[in-house]
Amino acid sequence: MNLKNKAIFLDRDGVINHDPGDYTKSLEEFQILSGVIEQIKSWYDEGFKIIVITNQGGIAKGLYNEHAVNAMHQYLQGKCIEAECQIEAFYFCEHHPDFSGKCLCRKPGSLMIEKAIHQFNIDPAQSIMYGDRQRDVDCAEAAGVKGVLIQTNSVNFQ
């Protein structure tokens, strides 16, 4: 019997950390929203794999680089580990259609979620994606995952 995993997919800016509206460009600007780590811990304790799926078009625009994105993700992972939980994986698209052309990974495209589903043997029917933009919901639903739209910077995972 091949048991599949269940996952919570999370957009990053505006869902996990405060979205200032013009890109989070550095670790100094990266502010985890109050209650997010506790919610991640709760899902983790319920047996969900936690996976971040985020567009980072500011890389293509030259506003920051992959190193800055990785530093923010390492910081977030450290906070999760302190809370005795973890994020299984971080997927990000560094492309922007105005600067690097079209790609398959940028949301609303579903390639990042599809990669995670394959890599971690995830059952899309048991999984949820939380995002603060319609493109997050569209991305999830294209991969067979329930998409839930939440208000930017709200931490209201219902």
> CB count, 10 Å around CB of 52?
22
2 pLDDT band (50/70/90 cuts)? low
Asked if 8 and 51 count as a contact pair (C-beta separation under 8 A), the reply is yes
DSSP 96: -
* 123 is a catalytic site residue: no
Is the distance from CB of 58 to CB of 65 less than 8 angstroms? Answer: no
* pLDDT at residue 1 is higher than 60: no
Catalytic residue among 13, 19, 132, 136: 13
Residue 89 CA to residue 100 CA, distance in Å, equals 24
Q: How far apart are CA 123 and CA 133, in angstroms?
A: 23
Please give the model's pTM, rounded to 2 decimal places: 0.95
What's the pLDDT tens digit per position in 81-105?
999 999 999 999 998 888 877 888 9
Closest CA to 105 of 28, 33, 53: 53
Contact 50, 86 (CB under 8 A): yes
Domain boundaries, the chain: 7-149
pLDDT digits (tens, 9 = 90+) for 19-76: 998 899 999 999 999 999 999 999 999 999 999 999 999 999 999 999 999 999 999 9
- Would the pLDDT of 17 be above 80? yes
CATH 3.40.50.1000 fits domain 7-149: yes
* Residue 13 designated active-site: yes
Helical axes 66-82 vs 36-45, angle rounded to 10°: 70
Chain-centre distance for alpha carbon 121: 18
CA dist list (Å): 120 to 3, 24, 48, 106: 11, 28, 11, 20
Look at residue 100 in the predicted model and tell me its pLDDT: 75
Confidence of residue 157 (pLDDT cuts 50, 70, 90): confident
- Residue 3 pLDDT > 80: no
Catalytic residue among 11, 19, 132, 136: 11
Rounded CA gap, 148 and 155, in Å?
12
